[in-house]
């Protein structure tokens, strides 16, 4: 019988010790990571999305109004590069349950709503990975609303993603824009809310009538009427904005409409309208 020489015992014991230390460190790290992310379980951010050829500055008036109303002290900017990568500027706080995230599309003239929605999803997953958020809200202006609707179309049923709880739609052109695909403002709504003419984007969004998570999302649809006989906010017909109802009818948790009139209700003025701020803040945060 040959005996195992003692010089082999020390490396074996040292290896076992190092493995034990490594496992302990990994376990401790995992516990700390879980504890860190679990601290944010009650944080429900609201993501603002600006319009075409615009940027996050169009969101600042509304975001600052929320801060003044005592909703939050936290405004973070999510910068989306021209290739869709996301950089967060600022940090969420576990003690601040209603932070605002101002999304800024560097490629704000991208006509592809599928891509824009995917990039919005990149922001959501970035927040999820960083803070383990479970729920969030959307606020969109103009073209931002189409991005939100395509996000809902493609990702709202993904159980791996946080849930959308409330959406404020401001000046949305769901079924055409004046002097473009709604050229003479003759598109009307039937008694059930369905448009008499349906453009290509609206046709894509009709999927929401059967796929939108049932009774999960509350909607507030805000629109402007210049009261000058055009039945529009100057860029989008009221019928186009109000066609949202048909897309979410029977699926939404709730659906409300708020109309604003006069010069301050013009398409590009609505996101700087104090009364719009009040309606938005009351709907999202009951302030």
Tens digit of each residue's pLDDT (9 = 90 or more) over 206-243: 999 999 999 999 999 999 999 999 999 999 999 999 99
Q: Which two tokens stand for residue 261?
A: 């009139």
Judge whether 235 and 178 are in contact, CB under 8 Å.
yes
What is the reported pLDDT for 5? 45
Lowest-pLDDT choice from 19-23, 56-60, 85-89: 19-23
What is the reported pLDDT for 180? 74
What is the helix (H) or strand (E) element at residue 136, kind and residue range?
strand 135-141
Q: CA 7 to CA 10: how far, in whole Å?
A: 6
Distance of CA 39 to the CA centre of its chain: 22
pTM over 0.95: no
Q: Which two tokens stand for residue 146?
A: 């189409």
Q: Which two tokens stand for residue 169?
A: 């739609």
Given the candidates 3.40.50.1820, 3.40.1190.10, 3.40.50.2020, 3.40.30.10, the CATH classification of the domain at 42-285 is 3.40.50.1820
| Residue 181 scores a pLDDT above 70 | no
Closest CA to 77 of 63, 95, 96, 67: 63
What is the reported pLDDT for 187? 82
Averaged pLDDT of the chain: 89
| Contact residues for 282 (Cβ-Cβ < 8 A; gap 6+) | none
| Residue 127 scores a pLDDT above 70 | yes
| Residue 20 scores a pLDDT above 70 | no
Provide the b/e sequence for 32-48 (b: ≥16 CB within 10 Å). eeeeebeebeebbbbbb
Alpha helices (runs of H) in 103-235, residue ranges in sequence order? 113-131, 143-155, 200-205, 208-211
- Residue 42 or residue 17, greater confidence: 42
Phi, psi angles (nearest 5°) of residue 257: -125, 140
86-89 and 75-80 strand pairing: antiparallel
């Amino acid at each position: 019988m040959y005996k195992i020489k003692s010089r082999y015992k020390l490396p074996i014991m040292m290896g076992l010790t190092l493995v034990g230390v490594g496992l302990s460190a990994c376990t401790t790290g995992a516990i700390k990571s879980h504890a860190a992310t679990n601290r944010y379980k009650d944080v429900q951010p609201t993501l603002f999305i600006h319009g075409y050829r615009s940027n996050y500055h169009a969101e600042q008036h509304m975001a600052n109004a929320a801060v003044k109303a005592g909703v939050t002290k936290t405004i973070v900017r999510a910068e989306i590069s021209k290739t869709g990568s996301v950089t967060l500027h600022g940090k969420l706080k576990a003690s601040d349950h209603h932070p605002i995230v101002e999304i800024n599309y560097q490629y704000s003239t991208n006509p592809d709503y599928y891509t824009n929605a995917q990039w919005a999803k990149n922001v959501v997953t970035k927040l999820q990975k960083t803070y383990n958020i479970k729920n969030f809200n959307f606020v969109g202006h103009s073209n931002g609303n189409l991005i939100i609707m395509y996000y809902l179309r493609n990702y709202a049923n993904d159980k791996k993603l946080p849930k959308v709880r409330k959406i404020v739609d401001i000046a949305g052109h769901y079924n055409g824009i004046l002097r473009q695909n709604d050229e003479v403002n003759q598109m009307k709504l039937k008694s059930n809310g369905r448009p008499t003419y349906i453009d290509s984007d609206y046709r894509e969004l009709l999927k929401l009538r059967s796929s939108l998570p049932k009774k999960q999302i509350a909607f507030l649809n805000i629109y402007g009427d210049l009261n000058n006989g055009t039945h529009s906010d100057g860029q989008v017909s009221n019928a186009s904005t109000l066609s949202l109802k048909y897309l979410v009818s029977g699926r939404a948790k709730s659906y409300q409409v708020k109309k604003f009139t006069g010069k301050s209700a013009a398409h590009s003025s609505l996101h700087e309208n104090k009364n719009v701020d009040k309606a938005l803040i009351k709907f999202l945060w009951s302030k």
